[in-house]
Amino acid sequence: MDNAAEFTKRLVSLLRSERHAMAELLVALAEFDRRGLWRARGHTSLFSFLRRELGLSAGAAQYRKTAAELVQRYPAVEDALRDGKLCLSSVCELAKVVTADNCAEILPRFYGLSSRDATEVAASIRPVENRPRREVIVPVRAVCGRGRSSQFDRLTASGL
């Protein structure tokens, strides 16, 4: 490869192959998970299988597990991943807000987004409710009636 144009064509081709391979991996993981085959390998979950048997980092395992779950439920996710429209790093944010009812509407909003941008889109779709505040109430010592001193006052006065 002598010139930049040829090299760029090669890189584009490799990227297309990478996307296709990732989509194939996710489809296979979805089927592997659906059938629970990770149990036969002695694991407690697909995540455990990905970490221990395939040697993925926790983050990489979580992205792939989440993507495989979405591929099982929403075939359009597979197509978006295969076409390079949906980034694997934004899948976890998509998973927080997508439903069968809103998939066609929501999915395109995540196309081409970075993880940070996907977080913002997910927050705009389903904003976090204000969590209830817990106020700590400290009891106040009861005030004694007129003319009577409290037991504390008597002990203090006696030097104890």
Structure confidence at residue 148 (pLDDT): 54
* pLDDT band (50, 70, 90) for residue 152: low
Q: Is the pLDDT of residue 145 over 60?
A: no
Cα separation values, 149 from 81, 140, 158, Å: 77, 16, 13
Q: Angle 49-50-52 (CA atoms, 0-180°, nearest 5)?
A: 65
The Cα 121–Cα 149 span in angstroms is 64
Structure confidence at residue 52 (pLDDT): 97
Q: What's the mean per-residue pLDDT of the chain? A: 87
Identify which has the larger pLDDT, 128 or 102.
Answer: 102
Structure confidence at residue 138 (pLDDT): 78
Q: What is the pLDDT of residues 10-65, one digit of tens each?
A: 999 999 899 899 999 999 999 999 999 999 999 999 999 999 999 999 999 999 99
Q: Which of 38, 42, 39, 40 is nearest to 50 (CA)?
A: 38
* pLDDT band (50, 70, 90) for residue 136: confident
Q: Is the pLDDT of residue 88 over 80?
A: yes
Percent above pLDDT 70 for the chain? 84
What residues does each domain of the chain span? 4-128
* pLDDT band (50, 70, 90) for residue 147: low
Does the pTM of the predicted model rise above 0.85? Answer: no
